[in-house]
Structure 1
Amino acid sequence: MKSSIMERDERYKMIEQLEQEIKDIEASDVYKAEASFKGDIDKVLKDHNKEPKDLLTIYPSLVQPTKEQAPAKAKGRTLPTKTYRNPHTGDEVEAKSTRHKTLQQWKKDYPDDDLDEWIIKP
């Protein structure tokens, strides 16, 4: 178990590391360019008595589509429903694949039969 003094010292080290990371970011050319750009936009907005949300009404394409607005992703290929009739019992089953529980049981019960021949409605 750590002492509270050790925990405090670790926290101070973490603070120092974060402060150094912030200084490194602020010293980068990328950050300086972005900060300058943001400052220019803020100045233009202030000169025209506008707010950042007003930009979104002028440029709606800046808004990321929400989950409701985003087009629905196409799900995987959908299989057609087929109707199978067991010629031994007369039972019918609707299934999208031969992985259906009843069809699997029929395969076990009648291993020599081909289930594709049992399809009555493709």
Structure 2
Amino acid sequence: MSKLVEYRQLEKHLAEQLQALEAMKGDDGLKKEIEFETKLRKLLDQYGFSLKHIINILEPQNTALRPPVAPTASTRKPRELKVYKNPNTGEVIETKGGNHKILKEWKVEHGADVVEGWLKK
């Protein structure tokens, strides 16, 4: 994109935003909000308070007044322990997942279906 095209686009975007800003300046709701904020900040300065003080007054963080929130329990059930016994070597593997190094080697060597047959009930 050429610099001139980029300049024209930015110029157009700026003109649109200036137009939107001018439209907002005439909005009565915005004027009321600005007036409220100005008066509130003057009042806070007069009494030496900050916005944090006001928030703490309106919504105290005192846990004694609020009921305790129960911790959310995990929705996923824990994995079951699986025990595999290799009938050829007598070696036993206990695992909760399929990402066990020796179990993977067995599945490559003997086949996944055969190794799943070695699962102890």
The TM-score bracket by the shorter chain reads 0.5 to 0.7
What's the secondary structure of 1:79's corresponding residue?
coil
Partner of 1:93: 93
Q: Which residue pairs with 1:66 in the alignment?
A: none
**TM-score (structure 2 length as normaliser):** 0.55
Structure 2 vs 1, CA of residues 90 and 111 (structure 1 numbering), >3 Å: closer, same or farther?
closer
Q: How does 1:41-52 map to 2 (within 5 A)?
A: 41-52=40-51
**Does the 8 Å contact 1:81/1:94 carry over to 2?**
no
CA distance in 1, matches of 2:43, 2:15: 36
Alignment length (residue pairs): 107
Give the structure 1 partner of residue 64 of structure 2: none
CA distance in 2, matches of 1:61, 1:36: 27
- Give 3-state SS (helix, strand or coil) of 2:17's partner: helix
SS at match of 1:93: strand
Q: Write out aligned runs for 1:1-122 (5 A).
A: 1-3=1-3, 5-28=4-27, 31-59=30-58, 77-80=76-79, 82-88=81-87, 89-97=89-97, 99-101=98-100, 102=103, 105=107, 108=112, 110=114, 113=117, 115=119, 118-119=120-121
- Structure 1 unpaired stretches of 5+: 63-71
Deviation larger for 52-61 or 82-91: 52-61
CA RMSD in angstroms comes to: 3.9
Partners of 1:92 and 1:30 in 2: how far apart? 75
- Higher mean C-alpha displacement, 104-113 vs 14-23: 104-113
